Copies of this chain bind each other. A is one copy, B any other.
Amino acid sequence: MPKTYQIGTYLIEQLHRHGVENVFGIPGDYVLGFYDLMSRSDQVEVINTCDEQGAGFAADAYARIKGLGAVCVTYGVGGLKVTNTTAQAFAEKSPVIIISGAPGIREQENNPLLHHKIRDFGSQKKIFAEFTVASTVLDDPSIALQEIDRVIHAALKHKRPVYIELPRDMVFRESTHAHKHRHSDTTSDQNALKEAVGEAAAIINNAKSPVFLAGVEVHRFGLQNALIRLAEKTGIPVASTILAKSVIPDNLPCSLGIYEGATGLAEITEFVETSDCIIFLGAFLTDLNLGIYTAKIDATKSIYATSEKLTIHHHSYKNVFFPDFLHGLIDADIKHRQIEHPVPDKPKPFVAAAKTKITVKRLFERLNAFTTAADIVIADVGDALFAANDLYIHEATDFLSPAYYASLGFAVPAAIGTHYANPALRPIVLVGDGAFQMTGMELSTIARYGINAIVILLNNEGYSTERPMLDGPFNDVHLWHYCKLPEVLGAGISFLVETEQDLDSALDRARAYSAGFSLLEVKIAKNDRSPALNRLTSHLKKEVK
C-alpha cells in the first residue's frame, strides 16, 4: 500500500531495505535531527568514527562487502572531508551513499553567511557531481521519496557513490504524496545479449589458449561463484587484476594468480600476454592493474566486458548488462578443454629463525601460513599492497585494497566497515607507518566498538614506495612508539616485532586474543622492499624526473 512518510524515516527504511544496517559518520548541528532519528530507529545503527575521513573509508569498505554502504555527515566541514574517500569509491566502483545534512531550506533564504557554508548553498552538490553517479537535495516533500529511490537505484546499478543532501528542516517533513518503493531492475536488450554471447562463444571456441582476466566488477556484482562455474565448465584459467585480488581462491585448479604486467610474476605475464583470446570480465585498464602500462595486451584478440561497455575486437554492443553477459557465457555452448597454465605457489610451512630480522618477503610468507577463510585481509597503499601480490588466497579469504585510486590511510578505518559488513570475518590490516599516521587513530573506533582486528603495521620509517623514485627528508615520518597506543586507548594489545620469531609468537597471541584489537609493530629495514615493489618502482622512477 502506498503511504506517506516522514522524509528522514523513509530514507532510513530504504537504507535498511537495501541491506545497510550501519551508517558511519560524525554528527553536526545541520544533521543532528537525522542522527537522532537513526539512533532511535531499529533499522540502522550509527557508528561514530574519530574523523569523517575514517567514516568515508569505513562506509566504502562496508559497501565493497555488503553491496551498499552509507556515510552520514554534516554540511561543508563534514561533506568536504569525505570528498577524497568518495572519489576513491567512485574510481573503484564502491556504491556508497553520502548523506549530508544541510541548513534548513527556510534558513537558506536570502543566502545568508551561515556557518559551514562553502561558496553558496549549491557548492557541495556541485562538487560531489564530480564523483557520484546521481545526486539529490531533498528540498521538496512532493518528490523526496521518489528521489531517494532514484539515487539509491543508481548506486546499485552503477556500483558507484551517490549523494543525498537533507536540509535539516526536511527530516521530519511528511511527504505530500503517498508512495510505495518500487524495485527497479536493470535488464539487457535480449537480442544484443544473444548476439554478443554467441559471437564471444565462437571466438573462445576457436582460440588456442583463451584466458579470463577477472576484475573488480566480479566482486561488485557478486559474481564470484558464477565466474568459478564458468571457469570450471570451460576449463579456461582465470587471472585476476590486483584491484580484484581474491575474486577466485588460489587453490582452485583454474586459478592463475595476479596479472599485473611487469609488476607481476613473469610466468603469469607471459601466459596472459601470449594468449590469443583474453576475456576481460569487469576488469579495468588502470595503470596499477597493468603494471604501470608495462602490460602488452592486444585489443584485437580481446573480449572486453564491464558494466560500462562490452567490446569484442573492434566493435561494441549496447545495452548488454555485464552480469547477464557472464551468465550468458555459462549457458553458452563453450567446449571444455584442458589448458596447461602456471598456478600460484602453495604457501610453504614457515620456520621462524630466532634472531633473523624480519623482512617484507618473510612477513608475507608467514602471513600465507596464518590467514584462513574466516579472515579478511585489508592492505593499505604502499608496500603493504605491493607485497600482497604474493598473498595466497585460501578458499574464500577476502582481500580488500584501494589498488587503483590508491589513497593512503584506507586500511584501518576499512577494518571497521568490514567488521560491520560481515562480523564473521576477522579483519587483518596491513598498513605502512606513513598511512597509519594519517588515519590509524581510528583504532580508537575499533576499540570503542570492541572489534578484534589484527593490525600489522610495517614500520620502515617513512614513505618507502617513494624512496626508490626520489628520496629526501620529505619521505621521512616522525617515529612513534606505536606499541604504546593501547595505553592511550585503554584497549587492545600490542607487540614489537623485530625478528621472525617475534612475528611467530605475536601472530599466535593475536589470533588467540579476541577481546579487542591487536597491534603488531613490525620493524622493517628502511631499504627493505617486497620483490613486487622493486619491480614496480624501477618503472615509476623514470616518470618522476
Interface residue ranges, A against B (CB under 8 Å)? 27-29, 32-33, 35-36, 39, 46, 48, 50-51, 53, 76-77, 80-81, 83-84, 87-88, 90-91, 104, 107, 112-119, 123, 126-127, 130-131, 168, 172, 284-289, 293, 404-409, 437-439, 441, 444-445, 447-448, 463, 465-466, 469-470, 472-482, 484-485, 487-490, 540, 543-545
Contacts and interface: CB of A to CB of B under 8 A. Distances in A.
B448 A29 contact: no
19 contacts: A27-B466, A27-B474, A33-B544, A35-B470, A46-B473, A48-B474, A50-B438, A76-B405, A77-B88, A80-B83, A113-B286, A113-B289, A115-B288, A115-B406, A116-B406, A118-B130, A119-B131, A127-B127, A481-B489
Contacts of A404: 113, 115
Contact of A35 (B104, B438, B474, B479): B474
Nearest to A107: B543
B90 A80 contact: no
B115 A287 contact: yes
Contact of A444 (B77, B118, B478, B487): B478
A502 B180 CA distance: 61
Contact of A77 (B39, B127, B405, B437): B405
Contacts of A112: 285, 287, 293
A327 B123 CA distance: 36
A288 B488 CA distance: 35
A77 B406 contact: yes
B115 A90 contact: no
Nearest to A440: B441
A51 B437 contact: yes
A168 B544 contact: yes
B405 A473 contact: no
B91 A84 contact: no
Contact of A477 (B36, B48, B90): B48
A434 B405 CA distance: 29
Specify how many copies of this chain sit in the oligomer: 2
A519 to B, nearest CB: 12
Contacts of A444: 437, 477-478, 480
Among A76, A117, A474, A476, the one with the most B-chain Cβ atoms within 10 Å of its Cβ is: A474
A137 to B, nearest CB: 16
A33 B130 contact: no
Nearest to A123: B130
A46 B475 CA distance: 11
A71 to B, nearest CB: 14
Contacts of A406: 77, 115-116
Contacts of A39: 472-474
A83 to B, nearest CB: 5
A543 B463 contact: no
A117 B407 CA distance: 11
A474 B46 contact: yes
B48 A476 contact: yes
A492 to B, nearest CB: 12
A478 B472 contact: no
Given A113-B286, A115-B406, A480-B488, A33 B126 contact: no
Nearest to A540: B29
A12 B495 CA distance: 44
Given A438-B51, A444-B480, A76 B83 contact: no
Contacts of A87: 76, 80, 118
A489 B480 CA distance: 5
B32 A115 contact: no
A425 to B, nearest CB: 23
Nearest to A444: B478
A118 B131 contact: yes
B127 A445 contact: no
Contacts of A131: 118-119, 123
A359 to B, nearest CB: 24
B479 A490 contact: yes
Contacts of A286: 113-115
Contact of A91 (B117, B284, B445): B117
A439 B439 CA distance: 9
A116 B472 contact: no
B81 A53 contact: yes
Contact of A487 (B407, B439, B484, B489): B484
Contacts of A119: 90, 130-131
A407 B77 CA distance: 5
A433 to B, nearest CB: 10
A475 B115 contact: no
Contacts of A441: 437, 441
